[in-house]
A and B are shown apart, each in its own frame.
Chain A
Amino acid sequence: MIDVPSFAELNLEVALPGIFLALFTTVLLIVDLFIPKDRKITTAHLTIGALVVAFVLNLPAFNAGETAMNEMFIADAFAGFVNMIVITGAIITVLLSVDYMKRSGIEHGEFYSLLLFSVSGIMFMGSANDLIVVFIALELLSIPLYVMAALRHDDVKSEESGIKYFILGAFASAFFVYGAALIYGATGTTNLPEIFRAIAGADGIVATENSAMIYLVIGAAMVIVALGFKVAAVPFHMWTPDVYEGAPTPVTAFMSVGAKAGGFAGLLRVMIIGLPLLVVNFGDAVETMAIGETITVPSAWQTALWLIAAATMIFGNFIAISQTNVKRMLAYSSIAHAGYILMAVAAVGTVQITKVAENDYTMVAVYAESALNGALVYLLAYTFTNLGAFAVVMSLENNDGSGTMLDDFNGLSKRHPLTAAMMAFFMLSLIGVPTTAGFIGKFLIFDAAIQAGLIPLTIIGVLTSAVSAYYYVRIIVNMYLKDAAVTDEAVGLTPYVNYATIVAFAGTLIFGLFPMLALDLLASSGAQIATLLF
């Protein structure tokens, strides 16, 4: 009667990391009930264990390149890489949370479940092959974050941060649904490769006079707005500083890397797989082309992303200069870093059109691969570096949330030389100094942008990087050259936080010195994307 596919046909094993984590989370919710209140560290250990298992399960995904569950899910190197980033980020976040939650008096076993829910949301986002999945994964990654931001009940700032994030996030979700509906209306499908094929058309080129184009453009714009909110791109960044400041610091740390990775995973999936060839205005160039000739034209959304990226980099970096609270400064710097990654997304939008024969064209998003590599490596580098920076900030933070001002870093090198050294390294990585992972990420992104012909954007990127050096170096100066005004011990400098800092430091250093480790993993990714599309 009903055609039920067999288990083998469902191809569930390629989705194993996500499924495992989701199932484990629901089990953890129940297990946690039987763990006494003073031994919640067991929950944290279980969480880390599950994340490690998910990490291992994720390794085969790099070479799978298969779809599962009615084409809704795809396991490729891109998904594998996003999973790797977010799992690593989550492990560091758990390490950061253990003591912080306890000393802030907000230790709940559910915190870890919520974190894992969010992580599995990001993992599904990385593997989403359908607009519906992108949307639901977006919600699954966001809703636990809203709650986690408001976890500190007695603090008005935390509550404000939760409600602000929630309301604006709900607004952004509505944008996404509207955009997805328009894209569906114009193409008749929600499946990303199908959308791609619907746009590419039968003869390999989009008919510009096609009236559905306007809906595709509006839909794409709305998707960019929604995901731009998640990654905190200007002008959708308003929530970021307040939310980052009010939320408990480990949550902020996770938000700045996890939600960002999720948002970019969604953006890259939709833009690279679904809409790369959305070209509205060919001009007369196409008509006058000779057979065999090749021209490059910008995708309809490239200019928009160009502007957003430029605004984000400029705004984020310049406002960060004036911040005196390091947590807030990192929030603005996180906005700025979103700008650099957006630059990579914009680079995808350069489309090459070749006239093969009369009325037969091919359209290729030629720079998708290098842009994708840049964005992913940048995300990886940023995850390690930023979580490391947050770990250090947290170790100086007092139980009431104070202690994160710039002055509190004065003389840190004398009090805690190792921590100060690592902090200095993180700051250098955030600037993008060679031998750090941050450098590799920036290098790849600038390279992709130049290839794609986005020269002015690259110049803006380089200049704002230089600007960013000012406020990052200021922390180093405070740590090494100024004398300490306060002498009290850093309460947060516990073993777990130290582990977290060391893991982050190791990641930043290793991927800075041996970038090929990441690039080799990705080498298959670009090829897979290419075979998928063309």
Chain B
Amino acid sequence: MTFGDFTPEAFAFGFFTILTLGGAFGVVGSRNLVRSAVWLMVSLFGIAGFFVLLSAPFLAAVQVLVYIGAIGILITFAIMLTRSMTNLKERFNKQWWLAALAALTAFLLLMVTVIVPTWGEMGAEEIPPTVASTAQLGEAFFSGWGYVLPLEVASLLLTAAMIGAIVIAREDD
């Protein structure tokens, strides 16, 4: 894909870039927390679009499902339940410029890393362009030749987290 030609991919890439970056700017720029949350979801939606462009539709759908359908809603819920936080007119963080500086430094570092091709040949292999099919994903996760151990341990982890949340949240009877 080249940027010179007008291809649907280029168009989509531009669109999702605007969504992602614009959303991200919205998150840090809004003084209203609910708006920040909505912007965050816009940004995450844009990232789902990138997954599609990167031939990972499964990840894209999971991104929307998990980050917008679950985490986004959860964040909004949490903000709304603390209503006094939603109508701030003042900047409540006096160290914003420090954060901006840190973000800028990280950005510059990343840009240098990306632009200057410093990744060595050590172990680096050309990865053939493929669409990761859902069947392949399933095979990688569930067959013993793949990531079955991390998958199972992760499911244990989620169980533990859920039990933990219930233990903390429930009222003692």
A residues engaging B (CB < 8 A)? 2-5, 9-10, 15, 22, 25-26, 29, 68-70, 72-73, 105-106, 108, 110-111, 113-114, 117-118, 120-121, 124, 130, 132-133, 136-137, 139-140, 143-144, 146-147, 150-151, 153, 162, 185-189, 198-199, 201, 210-215
Contact = CB atoms under 8 A, between A and B. Distances in A.
B103 interface: no
Nearest to A15: B149
B9 to A, nearest CB: 25
A10 B144 contact: yes
Given A132-B150, A147-B164, A3 B119 contact: no
B90 interface: no
Nearest to B169: A153
A210 B125 CA distance: 16
Given A22-B156, A114-B160, A153-B172, A9 B144 contact: yes
B154 A136 contact: yes
A124 B159 CA distance: 16
B147 interface: yes
Contacts of B147: 70, 72, 132
A212 B145 contact: no
A198 B150 contact: no
Interface in B145-173: 145-150, 152-154, 156-157, 159-161, 163-168, 172
B136 to A, nearest CB: 9
Contacts of B146: 70
B44 to A, nearest CB: 17
Nearest to B165: A147
Scoring B124, B146, B161, B164 by chain A CB atoms within 10 A of each residue's CB, the highest score goes to: B164
Contacts of A187: 122-123
A337 B125 CA distance: 43
Given A69-B144, A151-B167, A211 B120 contact: yes
Contact of B148 (A26, A70, A214): A70
B119 A211 contact: yes
By DSSP majority rule, is chain B's interface helix, strand, loop, or mixed?
helix
B120 A212 contact: yes
B164 A114 contact: yes
B2 interface: no
12 contacts: A2-B143, A4-B143, A69-B148, A73-B149, A105-B172, A136-B150, A144-B160, A201-B122, A210-B120, A210-B121, A212-B121, A215-B119
Interface in B98-151: 118-125, 135, 139, 143-150
Contacts of B168: 147, 150-151, 153, 162
A111 B168 CA distance: 11
Interface of B: 118-125, 135, 139, 143-150, 152-154, 156-157, 159-161, 163-168, 172
Contact of B124 (A110, A114, A147, A188): A188
Contacts of A120: 156
Contacts of A70: 144-149
A105 B139 CA distance: 47
Contacts of B122: 186-188, 198-199, 201, 210, 212
Contacts of A133: 149-150, 153
A110 B160 CA distance: 10
A101 to B, nearest CB: 12
Contacts of B148: 10, 69-70, 72
B143 A3 contact: yes
Nearest to B135: A2
A104 to B, nearest CB: 12
A374 to B, nearest CB: 29
Contacts of A114: 160, 163-164, 167
Scoring B124, B160, B164, B165 by chain A CB atoms within 10 A of each residue's CB, the highest score goes to: B160
B156 A5 contact: no
Given A5-B143, A146-B164, A147-B168, A213 B120 contact: yes
Scoring B147, B149, B172 by chain A CB atoms within 10 A of each residue's CB, the highest score goes to: B149
Contacts of B139: 2-3
A111 B159 CA distance: 14
A69 B151 CA distance: 11
